[in-house]
């Protein structure tokens, strides 16, 4: 009886030892599988990441409320403060024509013949005057007390007049019997408003002074 119990105990110890060795081998052979990282709560994220302040996001994506404004936020703020502007209709430049009461009035009106006009200049100053029909004559000089007639100028045409002593010049239209001719008197003046020396004759015969 004693030997039988001893034999059973030895057998039980051997089985436990074998089981321990096998479990150790199984434990060593198992691959190590890492756990996936859990999601970071939104409260721990940076609500104002630096990418919002780097191009192209800086100028195209507005930052969330509470973050320092970037270029996109500043542009949106300016647009909100800017008054509503109605764009011009397609095909227009957006420039408004001057009001009727601000348009310049012609100083004279002549009747072109076959699209041509004549200009008579009379120098009543003590200085020589340089004149030129732009695109039709070279710069010429008219002495004091002299006059000159520029014939058959195609309208529209521009005539420039400058005193060679850089003095002020008063341009006065003179009536004549020839409807296709513009006659002007060139006089000295001390009025700064009279410092004008550009005659513009339009195609319809209206004459403007600048």
DSSP string, 66-81: TSPP-HHHHHHHHHHH
pLDDT digits (tens, 9 = 90+) for 114-144: 999 999 999 999 999 999 999 999 999 999 9
Q: What is the pLDDT of residues 155-181, one digit of tens each?
A: 999 999 999 988 888 999 988 888 889
- Fold adopted by 110-209: Mutm (Fpg) Protein; Chain: A, domain 2 (2.60.270)
pLDDT tens digits along 38-64 = 444 444 456 677 777 887 677 767 777
pLDDT band at 92 (very low <50, low <70, confident <90, very high): very low
**What's the average model confidence in pLDDT over 181-196?**
82
CB atoms within 10 A of CB 144: 14
Question: Residue 25 — pLDDT band, cuts 50, 70, 90?
Answer: very low
Report d(CA 208, CA 180) in Å as an integer: 15
Sign of CA dihedral 201, 111, 123, 150: positive
Cβ-based neighbour number of residue 72 at 10 Å? 17
Where does the pLDDT of residue 30 fall: very low under 50, low under 70, confident under 90, or very high at 90 and above? Answer: very low
Domain boundaries, the chain: 50-77, 110-209
Quickly state the pLDDT bin for 66 (edges 50, 70, 90): confident
pLDDT at 69 over 80: yes
Q: Is the peptide bond before 145 cis (omega within 30 degrees of 0)?
A: no
Q: Are 116 and 133 in contact (CB under 8 A)?
A: no
What does pTM read for this prediction? Answer: 0.50
| Residue 206: how many other CB atoms lie within 10 Å | 16
The Cα 171–Cα 167 span in angstroms is: 13
The per-residue pLDDT for 133 is 93
Instruction: Look at residue 22 and tell me whether its pLDDT is greater than 90.
Output: no
Residues pairing with 119 in the sheet: 150, 182
CB 161 within 8 A of CB 199: yes
Predicted confidence at residue 44, as pLDDT, reads 47
């Amino acid at each position: 009886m004693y030997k039988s119990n001893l034999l059973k105990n030895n057998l039980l110890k051997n089985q436990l030892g074998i089981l321990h060795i096998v479990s150790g081998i199984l434990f060593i052979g198992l691959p190590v599988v890492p756990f996936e990282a859990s999601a970071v709560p939104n409260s721990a994220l940076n609500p104002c990441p630096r990418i919002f302040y780097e191009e192209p996001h800086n100028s195209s994506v507005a930052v969330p409320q509470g973050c320092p404004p970037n270029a996109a936020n500043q542009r949106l703020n300016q647009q909100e403060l800017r008054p509503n502007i109605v764009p011009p209709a397609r095909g227009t430049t957006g420039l408004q024509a001057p009001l009727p009461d601000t348009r310049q009035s012609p100083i004279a009106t002549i009747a072109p013949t076959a699209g041509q006009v004549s200009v008579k200049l009379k120098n009543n100053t003590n200085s020589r005057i340089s004149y030129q029909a732009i695109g039709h004559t070279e710069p010429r000089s008219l002495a004091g007390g002299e006059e000159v007639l520029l014939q058959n100028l195609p309208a529209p045409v521009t005539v420039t007049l400058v005193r060679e002593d850089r003095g002020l010049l008063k341009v006065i239209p003179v009536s004549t019997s020839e409807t296709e001719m513009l006659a002007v008197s060139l006089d000295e003046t001390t009025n700064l408003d009279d410092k004008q020396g550009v005659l513009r004759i339009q195609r319809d015969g209206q004459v403007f002074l600048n």
